[in-house]
Structure 1
Amino acid sequence: MSEDARRFVVITGGPGSGKSTLIDALAREGHVHSVEAGRAIIQDQTAIGGSALPWIDPSAFAELMLCWELRSLRLAREQAGTVFFDRGIPDILGYLRLMKRPVPAHMETAARRFRYHRTVFIAPPWPEIFAPDAERRQTLAEAAATHDAMVESYGGLGYELVELPKAPVAERLRFVLDRLAGSGPLRP
């Protein structure tokens, strides 16, 4: 595992499962993090009247997500210590498969070439906190299917998936930090 891969930790799962809330809590503790590609792309595309939206052109949406994630990796290399990612490149493969779209060879290559920490944290579907919003249009059933697609995507790429507990954010944060203790550079 490369030094970057040891430092780059992904938190994934279906929408509305508390991933971004956990990332925000890690940021408040001083940890470096990426911004979720999907939500930002949806906001940008909506603002400009673009069509690279999951409900209009899923393939174009996936290409923009890949560009975003590659840029996030480049920016992360400039940071010291552990960097937490709100999703990663394998999420794009899972998304395309979920949408019953072909996964282009260059996306497979990206997922195999640009690696993250072997331990990937996955947030399970959590009906009690799930709520759709302007960018999150999925139903709870679609969120659960997304979770399953991420399990398949990351598992197929050899990552070890560790399910986050359905617990308050402070407990989830402690769970992640305790699990990573001793496996690489965690500063703050």
Structure 2
Amino acid sequence: MDHPIALTGGPGSGKTTVINCLQALGYATTPEVGRRIIQAQIESNGSALPWQDKTAFRDLMLQAEIKHYESSVSQTPPVFCDRGVIDVYGYSLLEQLTLTTPLIQSCQQLQYHHRVFIFPPWASIFMNDAERKQDFSEAVATYDAMISAYHTFGYELIEVPQQSPDQRAHFILDMLKSA
């Protein structure tokens, strides 16, 4: 488990809640960058928002995900990441953005654990807020884009069952023990 462990999926599927559970259990984690970028852009009246300038938003996410990756490899493993560099590739697929050389190279060079945990769309827990403006159908499309993105780079996707956050965290830990 020397490589960071990515948790991915569509918005509103419970990733961040499970990351918080893993952190409470004493594991190192990295937060989701998209939400933080949206908050910072709103605060500064910036336009690098997914509903204004998708390319600028994507490029800021890539920069932030690279920093998170670099900080995670210097921590004692395992480190659980709320998304990763490959998610930026998936976002590009979803939004039909140009796949840039720096993005592709980052996806190839920054390696995550071979098992990636994907959270399926879950209508009963999905909700919008100030940063999450997608509807449920967009959450499903995002999930599909993440499957495509992670498969493109050869990762094994493990679907996290729709259970309580604590049960989901322990499912992930159990699956890593058997890897």
**Could you tell me the TM-score, scaled by structure 2's length?**
0.97
Report the Cα distance in structure 2 between the residues aligned to 1:170 and 1:11, rounded to whole angstroms: 15
Q: Deviations 1:65-95 (Å, cap 9, x if unpaired)? A: 1110111112112211200000011111110
Equivalent of 1:92 in 88, 94, 98 = 88
Over the aligned positions, Cα root-mean-square deviation in angstroms equals: 1.0
**Is residue 16 from structure 1 mapped to residue 12 from structure 2 by the alignment?**
yes
Report the Cα distance in structure 2 between the residues aligned to 1:23 and 1:108, rounded to whole angstroms: 26
Conserved in 1, the CA contact under 8 Å of 2:2 and 2:77?
A: no
Report the Cα distance in structure 1 between the residues aligned to 2:32 and 2:13, rounded to whole angstroms: 14
Report the Cα distance in structure 2 between the residues aligned to 1:105 and 1:77, rounded to whole angstroms: 23
SS of residue paired to 1:92 = helix
**Is residue 157 from structure 1 mapped to residue 114 from structure 2 by the alignment?**
no
The size of the alignment, in residue pairs, is 179
SS of residue paired to 1:170 = helix
SS of residue paired to 1:24 = helix
Corresponding residue for residue 138 of structure 2: 142
**Structure 2 residue identity aligned to 1:79:** Q
Q: Deviations 1:44-76 (Å, cap 9, x if unpaired)? A: 010000111111111111111111011111211
Conserved in 1, the CA contact under 8 Å of 2:8 and 2:117?
A: yes
Report the Cα distance in structure 1 between the residues aligned to 2:91 and 2:140, rounded to whole angstroms: 12
**Is residue 173 from structure 1 mapped to residue 176 from structure 2 by the alignment?**
no
Corresponding residue for residue 26 of structure 1: 22
* Percent sequence identity over aligned pairs: 43
Corresponding residue for residue 48 of structure 2: 52
Q: CA deviation at 1:182?
A: 5.4
The unaligned stretches of length 5 or more in structure 2 are none
Corresponding residue for residue 112 of structure 1: 108
Corresponding residue for residue 67 of structure 1: 63
Report the Cα distance in structure 2 between the residues aligned to 1:69 and 1:101, rounded to whole angstroms: 18
Report which stretch shifted further, 15-24 or 67-76: 67-76
**Structure 1 residue identity aligned to 2:111:** R
